[in-house]
Structure 1
Amino acid sequence: MNELQKEALEEMKTAIHKWFDEQENRKDAEEVVLRTTLQVGIFNFAMLDYRPGRTRVDSSKSVGSAAGKKSMKASPFTREQILHEVQPLLVEIVRERLDKLETSPLINYRFTFQGTFATMDGLVELTVLETVYEEKKRQLLERIQSYMEEKLEKGSNPTNRLETFFLARHLLDPYLFPEPEAAKTIALFDRIQELNKEQVEALAEHRRDIIRALTDWVENVFLPRYYDVTRSEYRTNEYVIKPDAVFENKDEPNQPIDLLLYGAVMTIRYEPEFSKFKGQTFLELAKQLGSGKAARMLKEGSDSFSQEDVHMRHELVECKANDVFSLFTIVIRKEEAGAYERAISFILSLLRKDFPKSYKIKLKSSLREFLPIKGLAKSDTHRFFANALAYSELHPLLEEYAREAMEEYEWYEDTESEKSVMPGSYAVFGLGLSSERYFPLVEAYMDLVDDEHQLVHDKFTAVFAETYGITERSTPTLIACLLRSHDSLKLKVQPELESEDKLSLFVQQIETLSDDEAERVLYPIWGKTEKLAALARKERGPRKELIIRLLKAAGA
């Protein structure tokens, strides 16, 4: 090696030793692995990112994203020199440090040291060293077996999320279980959900960890066997089936592809709207491999529901549901209350059985009713609920539906971004405009609505104010709406607030809010508080005092 190359190698050595020294100086390693028996080490990966003058080692797999960063000076190595001269030297350095840590809680049962190297020929990526500690592996397999038997098969108590995090990844780790037993693994995942079903938030976290582990296995272990994968940080993976791909035992029971199908359904049913497409993509890729089950699921839905649940035929109406595409297909044969009652009950029943909360309705009906609110998408879903709202006898059922359907971060799937609405919106808007009886429903809706990503509830708020004005009953609900409003909303209630009685009622409600909340509520009516202050200077008597109280409530 010449002097520049020796300096470069020294820079790599320094970065490697720095990383190992930092880890060995940690005081919490023992404490970390003692949190659960399912963790035998902290690190299973480190990456050397060599760029002259910027070299570093990191345990984050995203370190490769630094590929876009330019080196401070040119690399002195060719690709061949990295592969044949540098890598063997780095193996010796890393091996020497690892040998001292074989029984340490710092290092997992398997450790991979990778590298990205700037060279004269471009970026080179390679695995520098990979090692397995058989004794740690044996201990971990014993602990996994013990945990499954004691906590899942024999256990009856809710489980720890951290244990699910590790167990899900272990069961799908090809270095621990080269060929996963699909049926057993799925049964264990189902058991975890069963044990934690009474704790709603905890159950969601367990499911999230199971889905992440399944997704990682599908994308990094299963699909690359049959597809050439182009990965990107900024868009979805691209898959091209390999010319020599042979997928055997397509529809035999207990095959690895069952884990893909299971993961796809869990993703579709439980992940946020923006992630559901990944589950559908998995099913499409399985179908391309010749899976008849995947083809059936794409056409008819998953096996999560009985045929009676997803298909209802009646002389008044026919309803079908497909959870894979989050779709309800409703054909109204006779335009009467009974048809819509059966259709709403059909939807409600499935939502209570964990049908995806984000969905759309494909409607065949001779009526084209829409809510009297400008700016809402004129979709089939909107039309279905507007049609149903025409029957006052269905209003209690529609409220029941709305309370079940409302879910933050979920959406009706047949609207564009600026017209996106949370499930239950059309029923809530219609009911809220029909009777004061549904004011509590409107307030519950506004407590949930994602106002960072939804705008159209402002349209409802404007119509609500026009419909009810400022009254003792309506004002708390109007304020609940305004607390979720945007700067673009302009509310025309100033003329009504010329009445001292109504202004006094409004002030009393505003004074229960925090400064920020009060300012947000006042903005759609008067704009910035400076305008309200200018108005106060012009007023006299009790009205002036009331406006000053508004300003004080807003912290002005």
Structure 2
Amino acid sequence: MNHTMETILDKMKKEIDQWMAYINDKDAEKIVKRTPLQVGIHGYALLEYADGRVDVTDHVLDLSLPGNRKQNTSEQLSEDQVRELIPELAAYMQHHINTLPRAVIDYRFTFDGKFRVRGGEVNERILDYVDEEKKEQLLERISLYISGKLEAGKYPTKPLETFFLSRHLLDEGLYGELDSGKIIAAFERIQELNKGNKHLAEHRHTLTAALRNWVEDQWLPRYFENTGTEWQREYKKKSGAMLDVTGQSSVELVIYAAICILKYEPSFSRSVGLTFLNCAIELGSTRAEQLMKQGSGAFAEDDVRLRGERVECSANDVFAEVSVHVKQESGESYAQALRFLIHLLKLGFPKSYQIKLKSAVKCWLPMKGLAKSGTHRFFANALEYPEVHPLLEEYAKAAMETFEWYTDMEGEKSCMPGSYAVFGLGLTDPVYFPLAGQYMEKVDVEHQSVQNSFTAALVEQYGFNGETLPLLVTCMLYSTETLKLKIRDELQEGELLRLLLEQVHSLKYYQVEHLVYLIWGGTDKLKKLADKAEGDKKQYLTGLIQAAKRG
């Protein structure tokens, strides 16, 4: 090895030293104790070399890009020189691994090299290290977790456990040949145990991300070439690519990944799920083709198809979509469609779904802040027929589920299934106030704010009085702090203040504090009003201030 090569090697070793010092500057033992499913922290490093510059990271920097390039032709390497350096780098990295605290490195550690050379680039695996003892320990822990926490489990699981388990089960270095049935069963059980839990969406996103990473990084490259870019991928089947026995099993995971993306991820990810299914179809998967046309097959044909003179409905649980074609606009048409929906939901059709509506009528609910979607329009149209209102209530009770969402809107316009039916009925007749109250108690305030618009619309429709006060208090409790209500004038009346004070007696102090903020802008402002008030009014205002105090 000549002097130039030794200089470059020393520079690379110094970068390895710096990276190792950085990853060792953590309380690794404490971190891995958070869950038995983590046996180490770091499992990958990349050394990049281009024109005299070296970096060691756990992600791609791409030093060869013009903006990153430091021209130094005297330190350019040839391919032969790179291959001469690799054993030295592997031995040096292995030496570091052997001296690190045990918890720093995962059961497997891979060290890659990306070298800019004369006339091109060389990408080489420098080191692939497996700690067999850690590997066996991890496999045993995974098995115990699945049998104890999932199969025999009765309680919600932790998102951190799902993060590690999902990646372990899809790790071909850990298992070799993946067991699709076991993986899908575990992922479904996690969702079942966390149903109705505020972390359900997080679990689903974690599982879906792990599946998507496996499909894109491991499965697709075996059969397809990416003819697009890293960010906008397009796939072309490799010449002669076909599914063997192992591939027939793994394609079930690809299909499951596509279903998860289509059901649970935002609409902008829909194209990814469809791409996965189309790739599976290209490889001859009849199941993927069936899913695209008919759904999963978990429901009887009569349950997912309705063909009549007035209305036609079809449901696809894979896409979590219900198509409704109203051929004759009438109450009976919407009644038939609602009965179809209620029956579907009771059979277990995904509650996070959307309605694709074909109708000549375009009605919208009389309130601001709602997305103009097919789902919204269907329920607004149905609301025009009073004889259908009892069915709308039945539908709402079947559809309402915390942490589930209509899938044709996102962000600030997201809303729980049943929202449009409840809002429409509540604004039509006070007889549905109890239904609105039940709805509010299921609202996930952290991820939904359309209830603010409903609350404001209620005040505008019915006013703030003794009849509406109980429901409005409930609505305000489950509204966000951005709610704007103009009800201070009504609360100049002593009787309404007395009723409000009665309503808050059973509430927690922070709930009363929230109500006071929405109505008066905070306890400080309310105190100023109380100081100026007299008689019963002063007593009621003071009572509200006391109820809003901690302890």
Output the CA distance in 1 between the equivalents of 2:531 and 2:50.
66
Residue by residue over 1:12-38, the C-alpha shift from the partner in whole angstroms, topping out at 9 and shown as x without a partner, is 242365368669x965799789x47xx
Are 1:8 and 2:7 counterparts? no
Matched residue type, 2:251:
I
The equivalent of 1:503 in structure 2 is 497
C-alpha displacement of 1:248 = 2.3
The equivalent of 1:399 in structure 2 is 393
Are 1:386 and 2:386 counterparts? no
Are 1:474 and 2:454 counterparts? no
Are 1:92 and 2:97 counterparts? no
Output the CA distance in 1 between the equivalents of 2:139 and 2:484.
65
Output the CA distance in 2 between the equivalents of 1:525 and 1:167.
47
Q: Which of 179, 189, 192 pairs up with 2:184? A: 189
Matched residue type, 1:190:
A
Correspondence list, 1:1-80, <5 A: 1=3, 5=8, 8-15=11-18, 18=21, 35=36, 44-47=43-46, 61=58, 77-78=75-76, 80=78
The answer as to whether partners of 2:345 and 2:398 remain within 8 angstroms in 1 is yes
Output the CA distance in 2 between the equivalents of 1:66 and 1:158.
51
Output the CA distance in 1 between the equivalents of 2:541 and 2:365.
35
Correspondence list, 1:146-295, <5 A: 151=147, 169=167, 172-175=170-173, 180=178, 185-186=180-181, 189-190=184-185, 193=188, 197=192, 200=195, 201=197, 211-225=208-222, 226-228=224-226, 237-242=231-236, 244-249=238-243, 254-270=248-264, 278-287=272-281, 291=285, 293-295=287-289
Q: Which of 120, 127, 130 pairs up with 2:128? A: 130
C-alpha displacement of 1:294 = 3.3
Output the CA distance in 2 between the equivalents of 1:231 and 1:127.
23
Residue by residue over 1:162-212, the C-alpha shift from the partner in whole angstroms, topping out at 9 and shown as x without a partner, is 9987775555433455554xxx52266337746984663599888666544
C-alpha displacement of 1:547 = 3.6
C-alpha displacement of 1:8 = 2.7
Correspondence list, 1:542-553, <5 A: 542-551=536-545, 553=547
C-alpha displacement of 1:219 = 1.2
Change (3 A) 1:363 1:104: closer
Q: How many residues align?
A: 537
Aligned-partner SS, 1:479: helix
The answer as to whether partners of 1:270 and 1:356 remain within 8 angstroms in 2 is no
Output the CA distance in 2 between the equivalents of 1:320 and 1:357.
15
The answer as to whether partners of 2:48 and 2:115 remain within 8 angstroms in 1 is yes
Aligned-partner SS, 1:256: helix
Residue by residue over 1:119-168, the C-alpha shift from the partner in whole angstroms, topping out at 9 and shown as x without a partner, is 9999997532113467876x5899699879x959xx77669889987775
Change (3 A) 1:355 1:439: same
C-alpha displacement of 1:261 = 0.9
Percent of residue pairs identical: 39
The equivalent of 1:363 in structure 2 is 357
Change (3 A) 1:409 1:29: closer
Matched residue type, 1:96:
H
The answer as to whether partners of 1:16 and 1:48 remain within 8 angstroms in 2 is no
Are 1:424 and 2:418 counterparts? yes
C-alpha displacement of 1:478 = 0.8
Matched residue type, 1:11:
K
Aligned-partner SS, 1:131: strand
Matched residue type, 1:474:
T
- When normalised by structure 2's length, the TM-score is 0.75
Output the CA distance in 1 between the equivalents of 2:410 and 2:152.
45
Change (3 A) 1:548 1:304: same
Matched residue type, 1:482:
M
Aligned-partner SS, 1:423: coil
The answer as to whether partners of 1:250 and 1:292 remain within 8 angstroms in 2 is no
Output the CA distance in 2 between the equivalents of 1:28 and 1:466.
55
Matched residue type, 2:95:
E
Output the CA distance in 1 between the equivalents of 2:125 and 2:78.
15
C-alpha displacement of 1:465 = 1.7
The equivalent of 1:446 in structure 2 is 440
C-alpha displacement of 1:244 = 4.1
Residue by residue over 1:364-406, the C-alpha shift from the partner in whole angstroms, topping out at 9 and shown as x without a partner, is 3455443332453443322321333345554444334223433
Output the CA distance in 1 between the equivalents of 2:269 and 2:111.
31
Output the CA distance in 2 between the equivalents of 1:145 and 1:359.
33
Matched residue type, 2:216:
E
Output the CA distance in 1 between the equivalents of 2:32 and 2:245.
46
Change (3 A) 1:209 1:553: closer
Output the CA distance in 1 between the equivalents of 2:62 and 2:455.
45
Aligned-partner SS, 1:305: coil
- When normalised by structure 1's length, the TM-score is 0.74
Output the CA distance in 2 between the equivalents of 1:537 and 1:147.
64
Query: Which runs of 5 or more structure 1 residues have no equivalent in the other structure?
Result: none
RMSD: 5.1
Aligned-partner SS, 1:254: helix
